[in-house]
Chains A and B, each alone.
Chain A
Amino acid sequence: MAKQLKKGASSDMQRVTPTFTTTDHGYDTPHLDRMPPFVLVYNPRRWTVLAGRLIPSLHVKPLEAGVNGVAIARDGTIRFATARARIEEQGRTLIPYEWGPGGESYMQTVRTRPRGGPNEMDTYLSVWETTGPADPDTYTDDDAYSEWAESLVKDGKVRPCPPALARRMQDRAARKLAREEALAEKGGAGSGMAKLRAKTLAQTVKVLGAAATTKRTGRGKAAAPSLEA
């Protein structure tokens, strides 16, 4: 089949280009694997340092039928009551979608063709991720995510990291930093990677140090058992 481009000077002459058959590999669509929709869940015992901020390390709870009590109703809606109850029983807090940046959801949907195959479907990403045509990866805006996660604490939506926990985390990070610095100083295979790890860990130790030195809370009652004279 030829496609008409433009009529020439004479009405019986036409400029044409042929239309070729092509195989559509979906190069205009991301090639991400399908990820199910999800909710973020706050756990007061899980914290991390990202982009220079101490932030809650939120659980990513997949809303996938058959995972942690989630089921799909006949009308396609997600039955989440069991999963929600379990989250609350564990002392965790569901992060509502409207707590996302700008009062909108923290989740976005993107059309994808996994591995460039013919099946086009929705995949679910956080709003801090970007991807591109024919790309199997996503790229995270660490700084923006970290800023948002920190705002959950600053705005009082979730409790801050207990200073004692920050101190424990700092101890661990400091041990790791010492190991990586030793590896980096030794030279040879892997020392370059050790330097990179040490750089991030040094920042982690510094950030945790600031959180660990705040006022201590949660002390128990004084105890003095009776001792035989």
Chain B
Amino acid sequence: MADEILASTIGDLIAGEVMATEFLMLLADRDNSILTHPALFHATGAARSSNVVRVPHLGLGGYDLLSATTPGSEVANTALTDGSTDVTVAPRAKVYSVDDLAQYIADGKLDSMMFAQDAAISVAQTLISLIANVADSFTAYAGTSGVNATWNDVLDAKTTLGVAKASGPMLGILHPQQWGDLELDALSMGVLPAESMGGVINQGLDAFKGRWMGIDFFVSSAVPTANAAADRAGGIFTRGALAWADVAIDPVADPNIVSLGRARFERDRKGTFLETSYVTSSFQGVAQAIDAAGVSLITDNA
């Protein structure tokens, strides 16, 4: 038999590829639930007169105890302890520019909604990456250089916070490698793999890993390295360890500019180039605040 009609012989009648109606998102940190954690201090500027927000530290509310007095002697003044943290807010932005034809043939995958969704996620993840970058700033630390993270280290960190008189909800930000080491350590302490499979230990691959030892754990790939990248420096914090600030974006009467509350998403049409740009911008800042309210968790990076 010859001249059968085969798929390979009708190239002029068919498309090389046909797009699936679904698509895959490339891998990225996307879970932003950490930003609502009460241990993170969100500083709000009282006026619009500076890019620096000063957060006062006040030694009242039981900071100093009463001293024993000597009968007949005047009571000496107690010096008020105070301090402050300055959070410098800096602009950050990104732009995607799309050619008209590319946008048309992408069939909805590159429309305004997709870029708006990207804007909301990336603004939050940018802030998380800034927060993670402060994790190595604390004097107190737990863990051993070159040794995988263990729950012993977590308890060391928690104890250190307790000794420092820290209180309130605790937040742990770890690198996924550190969390993986903790999961392994949990198994070595007798937790059965079956429990792990059932989600008792693992919380899948979402950023939030559950509350363990009273600490809410999150992971972020933005957690920095330490000791020339031999280690990772995550951290465990209570409220006051770090402060972040941003700028509330005012709405404007322009349908091409959308306020996302803490960010701006803008559609910028360039007709002469037959293209549209999508601009996402935000003003964010993070700073270490009370040194003793945080503990860096420095453990092996591999």
Question: Which residues in A have some Cβ–Cβ distance to B below 8 Å?
Answer: 33, 35-36, 43, 45-46, 48-51, 57-62, 64-72, 82, 86, 90, 115, 117, 125-126, 128-129, 138, 140-142, 145, 172-173, 176, 179, 183, 188-191, 193-194, 196-197, 200-201, 204
Shortest 8 CB-CB contacts between residues of A and residues of B? A190-B188, A65-B90, A66-B90, A145-B228, A128-B228, A66-B285, A48-B145, A126-B228
B287 touches A59 (CB 8 A): no
Task: List 7 additional A-B contacts (Cβ < 8 Å) besides A66-B92, A67-B134, A193-B184.
Answer: A65-B91, A70-B90, A138-B225, A140-B230, A142-B146, A189-B188, A204-B147
Contacts of B229 in A (CB 8 A): 125-126, 128-129, 138, 140
Decide yes or no: A45 and B139 within 8 Å by CB, A35-B224, A201-B147 being known contacts.
yes
Decide yes or no: A173 and B144 within 8 Å by CB, A35-B224, A64-B133, A145-B228 being known contacts.
yes
How long is the Cα–Cα vector from A115 to B193 in the complex, in angstroms? Answer: 32
* B31 contacts partner chain A, Cβ-Cβ < 8 Å: no
Decide yes or no: A57 and B228 within 8 Å by CB, A66-B90, A66-B285, A67-B133 being known contacts.
no
How long is the Cα–Cα vector from A48 to B188 in the complex, in angstroms? Answer: 25
- Number of chain B interface residues as a range: 35 or more
Contacts of B90 in A (CB 8 A): 65-66, 70-72
Contacts of A86 in B (CB 8 A): 86
B88 touches A71 (CB 8 A): yes
Decide yes or no: A197 and B139 within 8 Å by CB, A50-B227, A115-B26 being known contacts.
no
Chain B nearest Cβ from A55, distance in angstroms:
8
Which residue in A50, A58, A68, A115 is a CB contact (below 8 Å) of B288?
A: A68
A57 touches B287 (CB 8 A): no
A62 touches B86 (CB 8 A): no
How long is the Cα–Cα vector from A51 to B139 in the complex, in angstroms? Answer: 22
The 8 A CB mask of B125-147 against A (1 = contact, 0 = none) is 00000100110110111001111
Interface stretch, picked from B116-124, B148-156, B257-265, is B148-156
Chain B nearest Cβ from A37, distance in angstroms:
12
Contacts of A125 in B (CB 8 A): 229
Decide yes or no: A176 and B152 within 8 Å by CB, A46-B141, A65-B92, A71-B90 being known contacts.
yes
Smallest CB-CB separation from A144: which chain B residue? B228
Q: Which secondary structure characterizes the binding site on chain A?
A: mixed
The 8 A CB mask of B144-174 against A (1 = contact, 0 = none) is 1111101010001000000000000000000
How long is the Cα–Cα vector from A59 to B230 in the complex, in angstroms? Answer: 13
B146 touches A60 (CB 8 A): no
Which residue in A68, A72, A129, A142 is a CB contact (below 8 Å) of B286?
A: A68
A82 touches B86 (CB 8 A): yes
Contacts of B89 in A (CB 8 A): 66
Decide yes or no: A46 and B139 within 8 Å by CB, A66-B89, A183-B188, A190-B189 being known contacts.
yes
Chain B nearest Cβ from A110, distance in angstroms:
12
Contacts of A50 in B (CB 8 A): 145-146, 227, 230
Contacts of B52 in A (CB 8 A): 69, 82
B287 touches A68 (CB 8 A): yes
Chain A nearest Cβ from B139, distance in angstroms:
5
Which of B136, B145, B228 has the largest number of chain A CB atoms within 10 A? B228
B228 touches A66 (CB 8 A): no
| B205-237 interface (Cβ within 8 A of A) | 221-222, 224-230, 233
Decide yes or no: A67 and B144 within 8 Å by CB, A82-B86, A190-B188 being known contacts.
no
Contacts of A48 in B (CB 8 A): 144-145, 227, 298
A200 touches B144 (CB 8 A): yes
List 27 A-B pairs, Cβ < 8 Å.
A33-B222, A46-B139, A48-B145, A50-B145, A51-B146, A57-B298, A59-B137, A60-B224, A60-B225, A64-B130, A66-B89, A66-B92, A68-B287, A69-B287, A71-B51, A72-B90, A128-B228, A140-B228, A145-B228, A173-B144, A176-B152, A190-B184, A193-B185, A194-B188, A197-B147, A197-B148, A197-B150
Which of B51, B92, B130, B147 has the largest number of chain A CB atoms within 10 A? B147
Contacts of B134 in A (CB 8 A): 67-68
How long is the Cα–Cα vector from A188 to B191 in the complex, in angstroms? Answer: 12
How long is the Cα–Cα vector from A181 to B208 in the complex, in angstroms? Answer: 32
Contacts of A173 in B (CB 8 A): 144
* B197 contacts partner chain A, Cβ-Cβ < 8 Å: no
Chain A nearest Cβ from B225, distance in angstroms:
7
Contacts of A188 in B (CB 8 A): 188
Chain A nearest Cβ from B137, distance in angstroms:
6
Smallest CB-CB separation from A175: which chain B residue? B152
A176 touches B86 (CB 8 A): no
Contacts of B224 in A (CB 8 A): 35, 60, 62
* B280 contacts partner chain A, Cβ-Cβ < 8 Å: no
Decide yes or no: A43 and B139 within 8 Å by CB, A66-B286, A183-B188 being known contacts.
yes
